[in-house]
Structure 1
Amino acid sequence: MDIILSHSISPTFNLAAEEYLFSKIEDDFLFLYTNEPSVIIGSNQAVLNEVDQDFCIEHDIRIVRRLSGGGAVFHDKGNLNYSFIHGKRGEPLSARFLDPVVETLCALHIPVEVGKRKDLWLEGYKISGTASHLSKGREMHHGTLLYDTDLDMLLKALSAEKRDMVAKATVSVPSPVRNIRPYLEAKWGSSLETEHFIQQFASQIILLLGVDHTDTFSDEEKRRIGELQRDKYVQRSWNYRL
């Protein structure tokens, strides 16, 4: 498995990168990235049902549709995103893809539990939601990890006026959420800055998966991802298609 850490905080680039990696049929990846403030909606969701568009416009929050299903999520630089991408071999990865994330967090003294929806919970609060995309012999399972996200912005961005404007669309299931950072501060009296936490998480999961380094995208890969970004993920026809 190759572990790739994105140097971009553009949600349209990083979602295009996920699709690009998904298309590399022979390879397995763990892709780690953060995004600037954005709302990422599921493939079968309607923006009208999920997002306060006026608030997002006012605060320069981009709305982008992803490949996978599931509910809408808010990203910012306090939120780490992880994406496991591989070919189907025997038992589906969906049965165990959260195991290395749980083990990594427990090693960092964050005792999370897996919920019924393949999400992660910490002391009664959701800290990570996940979604999946399966196609043509490939699997992608990705999730958020709330470390130091602006939860007030999250709540307001995801507060649509009505949730049933588009009846055929998948509607998000709200859950109480919290950040990891205040938990660590309360438990240990201190916490890492977000950038250092991400580095520590990456180092620990590399050790767990038996990989000796992280990779980045080559110039040619960035060119191909950029083409997909321009042709799809920045397009209103994709992001607002429901």
Structure 2
Amino acid sequence: MHGEFKVPGGKLVVVDLAVADGRLADVRVSGDFFLEPDDALPAIDAALTGLPVTSGATDIAAAVTAALPEGASLLGFSADSVATAVRRALKRATQWSDYAWELVHPGPLDPLMHLALDQVLAEEVGDGRRNPTLRIWEWDQPAVVIGSFQSVKNEVDPENAAKYGFRVVRRISGGGAMFMDAGAIITYSIYAPIDLVQGMSFADSYAFFDEWAVLALRSLGIDASYVPLNDIASPSGKIGGAAQKRLGNGGVLHHVTMAYDMDGNRMSEVLRIGREKLSDKGTKSANKRVDPLRSQTGMSREQIIERMIETFRDLHGLTEGSLTDAELASAAELVETKFGTDAWLYRVP
């Protein structure tokens, strides 16, 4: 059996193995990574040989780590990436090309519908009723989207939010507040089965899901890179941030918001971004953290989105799709029963 995993921003890890009596046999790890000392590689092979085929990614990675000699150095890969390659060899993890990806890009929707659709579409993919999907968001009204675990009063200045017409809503994923001004941001969601990131750490899966977007930005002349845990940035500053939610039915939601032409001064009035939040960003004001795509490309928002769609299609395949009546109805119901309620918005006051 043969499995491969290209570490986002790193090297290729390859695992060849056999299975005997329900356990891994004749395991051989290879790739274009760097590893010191040399005898660490056969130690990894030996540690993997004999593991039950039912071993989870955490157990596989732990076996690799335990086998490493003191002072070993892994460059371009990790124990988690070896685990992913092993599980792919066992057909317990998948690749982008294993799926028929669909594009959903409807017109502007109410902010609450956007959030409800994230839950609905992730559930649909997890249950196998929808193909894995890339959705591009459109906005015609401003909103502040706070993370699942953020405090409303700590994150938003209510008077300034009302002054500028920003509605405050809460999403199901963690992470920080998203300042969503109409026509000023680019947001996309990916709905995928958990098998696509099987064996990856959360940190690795963030970079994995957004590697195509970084490549799209680079094709536009932006020196973009992924900054752990969840930022896309350039030498000029932060471009965007990602958030992720894994559902119990096997669906994964991963979404990203990037600044196109954001008013940083207004953002700093609406959001309560304190000194502690900025302490590791190397700046004293919120607006200097914003790095609009417009200033770096000179292109319209629509042109940038089109390049991103083209890049995804070239890399992973993509066909035109649409939202079904049932999905829209389910989302509308969630707006009424969950996302539009004070109980949800103020679950963390």
User: Above 0.5 in TM-score?
Assistant: yes
Equivalent in the alignment of 1:33: 137
C-alpha distance after superposition, 1:87-113 (max 9, x if no partner): 111334435111111111112222201
Matches for 1:107-122 after TM superposition, within 5 Å: 107-122=219-234
One-letter amino acid matched to 2:155: E
- Asked whether 1:49 is paired with 2:49, we answer no
Alpha-carbon separation, structure 2, partners of 1:172 and 1:14:
27
One-letter amino acid matched to 1:30: L
The partner residue of 1:59 within 161, 164, 169 is: 164
Using a 3 Å threshold, how does the CA distance of structure 1 residues 9 and 192 change in structure 2: closer, same or farther?
Answer: farther
Equivalent in the alignment of 2:53: none
Deviates more, 1:65-74 or 1:24-33: 24-33
The structure showing larger relative contact order (alpha-carbon pairs under 8 Å, at least 6 residues apart) is 1
Using a 3 Å threshold, how does the CA distance of structure 1 residues 177 and 95 change in structure 2: closer, same or farther?
Answer: closer
- Asked whether 1:134 is paired with 2:239, we answer no
Please state which structure has a larger fraction of its residues in helix.
2
Q: Secondary structure at the match of 1:97?
A: helix
Q: Secondary structure at the match of 2:228?
A: coil
Larger gyration radius, structure 1 or structure 2: 2
- Asked whether 1:106 is paired with 2:182, we answer no
Alpha-carbon separation, structure 2, partners of 1:114 and 1:209:
19
Alpha-carbon separation, structure 2, partners of 1:40 and 1:94:
19
The partner residue of 1:18 within 118, 123, 127 is: 118
Equivalent in the alignment of 1:195: 302
Give the drift of 1:200: 3.3
Question: Mind listing any 5+ residue stretches in structure 2 that lack a counterpart?
Answer: 1-100, 282-288
Question: Mind listing any 5+ residue stretches in structure 1 that lack a counterpart?
Answer: 164-170, 185-190
Any conservation in 2 of the 1:18–1:31 contact (CA below 8 Å)? no
Alpha-carbon separation, structure 1, partners of 2:179 and 2:132:
26
Give the drift of 1:30: 1.5
Equivalent in the alignment of 2:208: 96
Give the drift of 1:239: 1.0
Q: Secondary structure at the match of 2:209?
A: coil
Any conservation in 1 of the 2:114–2:137 contact (CA below 8 Å)? yes
Alpha-carbon separation, structure 2, partners of 1:196 and 1:9:
20
Matches for 1:113-192 after TM superposition, within 5 Å: 113-136=225-248, 137-159=250-272, 175=281, 176-184=289-297, 191-192=298-299
Using a 3 Å threshold, how does the CA distance of structure 1 residues 9 and 154 change in structure 2: closer, same or farther?
Answer: farther
Give the drift of 1:210: 1.6
Equivalent in the alignment of 2:173: 68
Q: Secondary structure at the match of 1:144?
A: strand
One-letter amino acid matched to 1:13: M
Cα root mean square deviation, aligned: 2.1
Alpha-carbon separation, structure 2, partners of 1:9 and 1:150:
22
Give the drift of 1:133: 0.9
Any conservation in 1 of the 2:215–2:311 contact (CA below 8 Å)? no
Alpha-carbon separation, structure 1, partners of 2:324 and 2:265:
37
Give the drift of 1:9: 3.4
Number of residues paired by the alignment?
227
